[in-house]
Amino acid sequence: MEEPDDTPTLSQLERQAAHVRPAFGEHAHILCDNLVRIYKTEGVEVVALQGLDLLVDKGELIAVVGASGSGKSTLLNVLSGLDVPTAGLARVAGTDLLAMTAKDRLRYRREVVGFVWQQTARNLLPYLTAGENVRLPMRLAGRRGRTDRAGELLDLLGVAHRAGSRPGEMSGGEQQRVAIAVALANSPQVVLADEPTGELDSENSEQVFAALRRANRELGVTTVIVTHDATVSEQVDRTVGIRDGRTSSETLRRTAEGGAVIAEEYAVLDRVGRLQLPREFIGALDMERRVRLELECDHIGVWPDRPQPDTPQPDTPQPDQPQPEESR
Ligand SMILES: Nc1ncnc2c1ncn2[C@@H]1O[C@H](COP(=O)(O)OP(=O)(O)OP(=O)(O)O)[C@@H](O)[C@H]1O
């Protein structure tokens, strides 16, 4: 009798492999995997994103910070479907941003993501009231119950009393909170905010961050805020730092027992083991080009490539070392 063939098939092996090691960011709501964006102008190439990795969970609120030119706006333009990366993978709420047709792109921008821009004039039409501004995207999408929803959103964001005012009659902070209501009008899965407090004083900024947090908490909408505002890490649970087109650090904020808020900064270790050392650390020890690494039982030491005080030097004979014939 013939033995049963228990050699696994290729698809069984693939299933097993997938089971053992889930794909990077498989369950993330926003996934950027090795994202590259190269701009070419008059023969000069600028690599704005240099293999950026980012994962954001469904319902999470994060801030993205970084110096001018680090690639924040480029990242947001990719996530908002305005720009297409040169290479890598970008997926938002299950939509592959590199494989969209023009029609998909329109649908994505209308239904999946909502935007808040820095310039209030880009968010709101000046001749419409706050209520009319919030109802407009719903009208374009043919959504019912527009008046009720607009009222609920303005109420949630603390600007219900401004429903009948035009943008010119409101403060900058109120305009931005109405803009958040406009972004949320068609129930997007993700809200992207580019410097939403860039033109505001600190009191108005705090109110806008509080409104974004409330919308995130009450509606469960995944939220990414790009900002220069260094104090943002006090406003959100996770702040991702970008440097030279790559995620370089993460600050996590948590409330300890007793109510104290603790913010801890981490360097980001990518999947192939790369990390960016903070510039001030490198400068303080004059490190350049290469460093020595040493594995300890619970950490890795990083030393500048200079002779260590207790390292025997090849041309300095040690007292108990046998001396070469000629030097005796
Ligand atoms: N359309 C473009 N053409 C050529 N280079 C560009 C273009 N857009 C951005 N860059 C370059 O890409 C790099 C990243 O720019 P980006 O605007 O994403 O940075 P940023 O962090 O948002 O800066 P900022 O905070 O000043 O807005 C910069 O060197 C910038 O000059």
Please compute the mean of the pLDDT values over residues 138-165 and round it to a whole number: 94
**Range of 150-154, 196-200, 298-302, 305-309 with top mean pLDDT:** 150-154
Please compute the mean of the pLDDT values over residues 281-292 and round it to a whole number: 89
State residue 262 phi and psi, 5-degree precision. -115, 130
Radius of gyration of the chain (CA): 26
Residue 244 has pLDDT above 80, yes or no: yes
Q: What is the model's pLDDT at position 25?
A: 73
The residue range of the domain holding 239 is 30-267
Q: Are strands 300-304 and 291-295 parallel, antiparallel or unpaired?
A: antiparallel
Residue 221 has pLDDT above 90, yes or no: yes
Please compute the mean of the pLDDT values over residues 260-270 and round it to a whole number: 85
Q: What is the model's pLDDT at position 314?
A: 56
Q: Is 20 within a domain?
A: no
State residue 314 phi and psi, 5-degree precision. -55, -35
Q: Is 289 within a domain?
A: no
Measured in Å, residue 80 CA sits from the centre of ligand 1 at: 16
Please compute the mean of the pLDDT values over residues 122-138 and round it to a whole number: 94
Q: What is the model's pLDDT at position 1?
A: 55
Q: Is 323 within a domain?
A: no
Measured in Å, residue 198 CA sits from the centre of ligand 1 at: 17
Q: Are strands 222-227 and 238-243 parallel, antiparallel or unpaired?
A: unpaired
Q: Is 288 within a domain?
A: no
Measured in Å, residue 68 CA sits from the centre of ligand 1 at: 8
Q: Is 155 within a domain?
A: yes
Please compute the mean of the pLDDT values over residues 111-124 and round it to a whole number: 89
Measured in Å, residue 24 CA sits from the centre of ligand 1 at: 27
Please compute the mean of the pLDDT values over residues 215-244 and round it to a whole number: 89
Q: Which residue has the tokens 């009231």?
A: 129
Residue 325 has pLDDT above 80, yes or no: no
Q: Is 48 within a domain?
A: yes
Please compute the mean of the pLDDT values over residues 77-91 and round it to a whole number: 93
As for ligand 1, residues whose beta carbon falls within 6 Å of it are: 39, 41, 46, 48, 66, 68-74, 228
Residue nearest to atom 6 of ligand 1 (CA): 39
Ligand 1: atom nearest CA of 75 is: 18
**ipTM passes above 0.85:** yes
| CATH code for position 103 | 3.40.50.300
Strands of the chain, DSSP E: 30-41, 44-56, 61-65, 87-92, 95-96, 113-116, 190-194, 222-227, 238-243, 246-255, 261-267, 291-295, 300-304
The DSSP secondary-structure symbol of 211 reads H
Measured in Å, residue 272 CA sits from the centre of ligand 1 at: 26
Residue 313 has pLDDT above 80, yes or no: no
Per-residue model confidence as pLDDT tens digits over 22-37: 677 778 999 999 999 9
Residue 327 has pLDDT above 50, yes or no: no
Residue 144 has pLDDT above 80, yes or no: yes
Measured in Å, residue 195 CA sits from the centre of ligand 1 at: 14
Torsion sign over Cα 116, 119, 120, 126: negative
Q: What is the model's pLDDT at position 308?
A: 66
Residue nearest to atom 29 of ligand 1 (CA): 69
Alpha-carbon distance 325 to 322, whole Å? 9
Band of pLDDT at residue 14, cut at 50, 70 and 90: confident
Residue 17 has pLDDT above 70, yes or no: no
Band of pLDDT at residue 315, cut at 50, 70 and 90: low
Q: Are strands 30-41 and 44-56 parallel, antiparallel or unpaired?
A: antiparallel
Which of 39, 76, 229 for mutating ligand 1's site (highest number of atoms within 8 Å of CB)?
Answer: 39
Per-residue model confidence as pLDDT tens digits over 45-73: 999 999 999 999 999 999 999 988 999 99
Measured in Å, residue 73 CA sits from the centre of ligand 1 at: 7
Alpha-carbon distance 98 to 146, whole Å? 33
Q: What is the model's pLDDT at position 232?
A: 80
Q: What is the model's pLDDT at position 278?
A: 85
Residue nearest to atom 2 of ligand 1 (CA): 39
Number of domains in the chain: 1
Measured in Å, residue 236 CA sits from the centre of ligand 1 at: 25
Give the percent of the chain with pLDDT over 90: 56
Which of 73, 194, 195, 246 for mutating ligand 1's site (highest number of atoms within 8 Å of CB)?
Answer: 73
Residue nearest to atom 26 of ligand 1 (CA): 68
Per the prediction, the chain carries an average pLDDT of 87
Alpha-carbon distance 248 to 90, whole Å? 18
Ligand 1: atom nearest CA of 228 is: 25
Q: Is 212 within a domain?
A: yes
Ligand 1: atom nearest CA of 77 is: 18
Residue 281 has pLDDT above 60, yes or no: yes
Band of pLDDT at residue 7, cut at 50, 70 and 90: confident
